[in-house]
Amino acid sequence: MKYIIIGACAAGLACAEQIRKEDASGEITVFTKEAYLPYSRPSISYLLKGAVKEKDMYLRKPSYYAAKRIHFVRDTAITAIDTKNKTVKAGRKAYAYDKLCICTGSKPFVPPMKHVEGKSNVFCFLDLASAKAVKAAAKPHTRAVVIGAGLIGMKAAEGLSKICQSVDVVELAPRILPSILDQKSSKLVKNHVEKEGHIRFHLAQTVSEARSKGERISSVVLNSGEVLACDMLVIAVGVRPETALAEAAGLSVNRGILTDSKTMQTSQKDVYAAGDCTVSTDMLDGSKKIIALYPNAVYQGTVAGAQMAGGSQELGGCYAVNAIDFYGLRICTCGLINAAGEPYRDKVRHSGEAYKRLIFEDNRLVGFVLINASQNAGIYTNLIENQSDITALEQDIFDTPSLFMFDKAQREKRLKGAL
């Protein structure tokens, strides 16, 4: 059996590992357009701020891949998929597959701006190569401008603030981290980041054009007319699923690649997809969305791998769970954090920099936002995932969650580990 995986990040690696678990002899080839073996994408901002070394970013040791006989083809972009003849092409070279998994991930979204394209001090911030470029370019006297206050933009801004003279963040939305934080918690985080990181925010703004000196941008103009000096422009507005290959091969795509909700198979037999490039069904409200988060990618990759190698594991529910920190402020969110109105209810407990918001639907927990209050958050996640009846809990759900939330039988089960 010949397995080909396109993309060597979270989903791709999980897929390859799962195939090897199920199929000891099959031939596994992973194509990556990057120059590196699988590494931790989310670590790039930590590399930027010097909290992690490049050698510690690699997810596995090279010897591991040799032992597992997972073959990587690096610096090789797949240019086409021929589902009829079951081959993928990298330029003129063609590779045959029996089972294929597309784990192409995301591509950065670049909003239309005047006089930005082609300038030498404009960067994206998505992979190791771009992170290295940003790190090389960031100097103590640099005045950096980051466009986008989502997860990537904020982490880039945090990293840059440790190096650069100043960091300005421009965000279209009226609040920072709109995808993972509600309004109140967003404000709390913004205050903290402004205080600790001396980052200036320009919310509900866009960069309309850039002014350059030669090859380099020297300042940017916001749509309010304000002009920000700029020695370095990092574009981190957001990401979109990388679906070009799939579309060209005639697979069903709607924003992301569409897959079977249990097997991760695409509209084409023997072609699977997993990770950020796919559309997921949120188990909590049934909506179709892109859940571009690491644990989800690993989960989908694992299921796709199992299915490709003839295993029986199927995809259960997908939901968003995310943990991140900014200048020591710990943020942990899960589920439907922006759900509002019927049938949802929420409860908030807020004191100082600790913030706990729980979102309920009927007698179930469907989401949480925890800031500096994330102790044992996994137990909440577990309640969400299992859609547990919270009225059966033996202690206030707002207390620090622990085993003693559950009745004796449940506790015993968990302590004895027969789950």
Partner 1 sequence: MKRVYAKEELCLNCRLCEVYCKTAHSASKDVLKANKYETPAPVSRVTVYGDKLRSAAVNCRHCENPKCVQACITGAMTKDPATGIVAVDEHKCIGCMTCLAVCPYGCITTGRFAIKCDLCRGETEPACVKNCPNRALVYTDLGGAQE
Does residue 167 touch partner 1 according to CB under 8 A? no
Query: Which of these segments, 70-78, 127-135, 252-260, 295-303, binds partner 1 (CB under 8 A)?
Result: 295-303
Select the residue interacting with partner 1 from 321, 339, 359, 393 (CB under 8 A). 321
Sign of CA dihedral 151, 378, 12, 277: negative
Q: Does residue 161 bind partner 1 (CB under 8 A)?
A: no
Cβ(139)–Cβ(116) below 8 Å: no
374 near partner 1, rule: CB under 8 A: yes
Is 416 a binder of partner 1 (CB under 8 A)? yes
Stretch of residues binding partner 1 (CB under 8 A), selected from 54-62, 164-172, 178-186, 248-256: 54-62
46 touching partner 1, by CB under 8 A: yes
In sign, the C-alpha dihedral spanning 310, 312, 318, 322 is: negative
Among 42, 178, 311, 317, binds partner 1 (CB under 8 A): 42
- 375 lies in the site for partner 1, by CB under 8 A: yes
Closest CA to 88 of 229, 292, 251, 305: 251
Task: Give the residue from 2, 5, 79, 7 showing the smallest Cα distance to 36.
Answer: 7
By CB under 8 A, tell whether 264 contacts partner 1: no
56 lies in the binding site for partner 1 (CB under 8 A)? yes
Which one of the spans 46-54, 113-121, 194-202, 222-230 is the region binding partner 1 (CB under 8 A)?
46-54
Nearer to partner 1, 14 or 81 (CB): 14
- Alpha helix (H) residue ranges in 278-336: 294-308
Between the two ends of the chain, the Cα-to-Cα distance in Å is 35
Structure tokens at 335: 């589920």
Q: Which residues contact 352 (CB under 8 A, 6 or more apart)?
A: none
Does 265 interact with partner 1 (rule: CB under 8 A)? Answer: no
Q: Which stretch binds partner 1 (CB under 8 A): 126-134, 273-281, 283-291, 317-325?
A: 317-325
CB atoms within 10 A of CB 237: 23
355 binds partner 1 (CB under 8 A): no
Shortest Cβ 23–partner 1 spacing (Å)? 17
Q: Which residues are bridge partners to 234 per DSSP?
A: 123, 146
Q: Where are the alpha helices (DSSP H) in 9-99?
A: 10-22, 44-48, 62-68
Scanning 102-110, 172-180, 234-242, 401-409 for contacts with partner 1 by CB under 8 A, the matching segment is 401-409
Q: Is 417 in the site for partner 1 (CB under 8 A)?
A: yes
CA 59/CA 69 separation, integer angstroms: 16
Cβ 208 to partner 1 shortest distance, Å:
34
Q: In this structure, what token pair is assigned to residue 315?
A: 């995809």
Smallest distance from the beta carbon of 202 to partner 1, in angstroms? Answer: 27
CA proximity to 304, closest of 330, 340, 280:
280
Report which of 248, 360, 268 is spatially closest to residue 258, judged by C-alpha positions: 268
Within its chain, how far is the Cα of 126 from the centroid? 10
Of 26, 178, 317, 378, the one binding partner 1 (CB under 8 A) is: 378
Looking at the DSSP bridge assignments, the partners of residue 201 are 169
| Per CB under 8 A, 266 contacts partner 1 | no
Of 230 and 297, nearer to partner 1 (C-beta) is 297
State the CB neighbour count (10 A cutoff) for residue 285. 16
**Least Å from the CB of residue 53 to partner 1:** 7
What does the chain come to in residues?
419
Q: Does 325 sit near partner 1 (CB under 8 A)?
A: yes
> Which residues are near partner 1 by CB under 8 A?
10, 14, 40-43, 46, 51-53, 56-60, 294-295, 298-299, 302, 321-325, 330, 332, 334, 374-379, 381-382, 401-404, 408, 411-412, 414-419
